């Protein structure tokens, strides 16, 4: 879990910052900005083959659904992933990094609702407190009067960016819950190979869907000019896209791994709690303004994360107490035999 959490924090922060760098230095293609969010999946294929060849996943063919069910699941997830990623690309284009990242935390509220409906998620006071605080942290920026980007983005485009980011957050909240539902009810597998297969297949579908959009929109015709006019040079253009794709795949492994190990809500809380790191990094790398509202939003996000972690600490104590109680009960027959 610690490794998955590190992947979420590092991958998410790097991917958002590199996406902003792409736009700041001359990148304009929304389809390309969308494509890099999942086109890096081939780097996972060799690792998947190694695990499969060593037969670590011995039970991966047990109780598997038929091919048509799997195809429909991966196709649906891939199309949803492509749509959400496109909306996120629009949001990142029209919003400052700090505003974009904190609004993204609203996906936690959507995921909480879908987890309650699809995954029978139980809500304790600490979890409810965490959800409310994190939601307030993100929505606080929507009503921030000075949050329009000072680089020339109009108020209309800012509004479009907010709407698209919130819409994408809702889509990702649904997708996280559906992913957990698929692990529990459809795939019914307990191996890391299943996690890799989920990422690879849905990313393949999302890549194909985005490429179709790229060619239908005819925006591919401007890619050569875009790379030539990129302020950092052609080689830096390719390097930015490659690093962005790698960062998103790192995030995907961490996010889906946490869904697999714990729950979709826990994965989303980890993701949301890592978002406050991005505004701080944006101030350092992009010289963005970190005013009082953003500071308050960051503190609230950290508070919400701490509240959720405290609930897991309580759950861990309760689990250990139950295990100890079960062991004590199991020892009673042995003690009776010793007395005889």
**Is residue 167 domain-resident?**
yes
**Is residue 140 domain-resident?**
yes
| 276 confidence band (pLDDT: 50, 70, 90) | low
pLDDT tens-place string over residues 151-184: 567 778 888 888 898 899 888 888 888 888 887 7
pTM here is 0.77
**Is residue 177 domain-resident?**
yes
CA-wise closest residue to 138 among 108, 168, 96: 108
Which position has the higher pLDDT, 211 or 310?
211
**Is residue 339 domain-resident?**
no
Highest mean pLDDT among 53-57, 93-97, 174-178, 199-203: 199-203
DSSP three-state, residue 7 = helix
How many degrees, rounded to 5, is the angle at CA 274 between CA 162 and CA 141? 30
- Mean pLDDT for 6-32 is 87
Whole domain around residue 73: which residue ranges? 1-332
Q: Is the pLDDT of residue 4 over 60?
A: yes
| 206 confidence band (pLDDT: 50, 70, 90) | very high
Contact residues for 38 (Cβ-Cβ < 8 A; gap 6+): 81, 82, 85, 202, 203, 206, 207, 210, 245, 248, 249, 252
Give residue 122's region: left, alpha or beta (phi > 0; psi -120 to 50).
beta
Question: In Å, how far are 2, 19, 24, 307 from 243, measured between CA atoms?
Answer: 23, 10, 16, 33
- Mean pLDDT for 35-59 is 75
**Is residue 63 domain-resident?**
yes
Which position has the higher pLDDT, 208 or 94?
208
How many degrees, rounded to 5, is the angle at CA 314 between CA 310 and CA 316? 115
Q: Is the pLDDT of residue 215 over 70?
A: yes
> What average pLDDT does the structure give for the chain?
78
The enclosing H or E element of 50 equals helix 45-53
What is the rounded distance in angstroms from the CA atom of residue 147 to the CA atom of residue 277? Answer: 18
CB 147 within 8 A of CB 96: yes
* Poorest-pLDDT segment among 64-73, 176-185, 327-336: 327-336
Contact residues for 122 (Cβ-Cβ < 8 A; gap 6+): none
Number of domains in the chain: 1
**Is residue 69 domain-resident?**
yes
**Is residue 337 domain-resident?**
no
- Mean pLDDT for 233-256 is 89
Neighbouring C-alpha atoms within 13 Å toward the C-beta of 244: 23
DSSP three-state, residue 251 = helix
The enclosing H or E element of 168 equals helix 155-181
């Amino acid at each position: 879990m610690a490794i998955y959490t590190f992947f979420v924090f590092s991958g998410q922060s790097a991917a958002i910052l590199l996406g902003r760098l792409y736009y700041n230095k001359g990148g304009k293609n929304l389809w390309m900005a969308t494509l890099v969010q999942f086109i890096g999946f081939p780097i996972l294929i060799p690792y998947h083959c190694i695990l499969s060849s060593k037969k670590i996943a011995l039970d991966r063919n047990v109780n598997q659904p038929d091919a048509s069910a799997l195809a429909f699941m991966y196709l649906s997830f891939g199309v949803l992933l492509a749509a959400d990623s496109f909306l996120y690309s629009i949001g990142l284009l029209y919003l400052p990094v700090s505003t974009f990242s904190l609004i993204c935390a609203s996906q936690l509220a959507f995921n909480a609702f879908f987890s309650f409906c699809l995954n029978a998620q139980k809500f304790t006071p600490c979890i409810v407190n965490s959800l409310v605080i994190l939601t307030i942290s993100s929505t606080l920026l929507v009503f921030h009067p000075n949050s329009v980007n000072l680089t020339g983005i109009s108020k209309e485009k800012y509004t479009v960016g907010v709407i698209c980011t919130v819409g994408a957050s809702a889509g990702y909240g649904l997708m996280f819950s559906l992913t957990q539902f698929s692990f529990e009810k459809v795939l019914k597998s307990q191996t890391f190979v299943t996690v890799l297969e989920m990422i690879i297949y849905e990313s393949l579908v999302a890549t194909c869907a985005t490429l179709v959009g790229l060619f239908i929109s005819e925006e591919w015709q401007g890619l050569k000019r875009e790379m030539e006019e990129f302020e950092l040079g052609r080689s830096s253009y390719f390097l930015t896209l490659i690093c962005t794709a790698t960062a998103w795949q790192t995030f995907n492994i961490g996010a889906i791994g946490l869904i697999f190990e714990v729950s979709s809500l826990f994965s989303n809380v980890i993701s949301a709690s890592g978002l406050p790191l991005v505004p701080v990094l944006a101030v350092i790398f992009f010289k963005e303004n970190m005013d009082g509202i953003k500071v308050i939003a960051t503190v609230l996000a950290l508070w919400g994360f701490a509240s959720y972690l405290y609930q897991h600490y309580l759950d861990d104590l309760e689990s250990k107490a139950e295990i100890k109680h079960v062991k004590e009960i199991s020892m009673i027959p042995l003690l009776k035999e010793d007395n005889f």
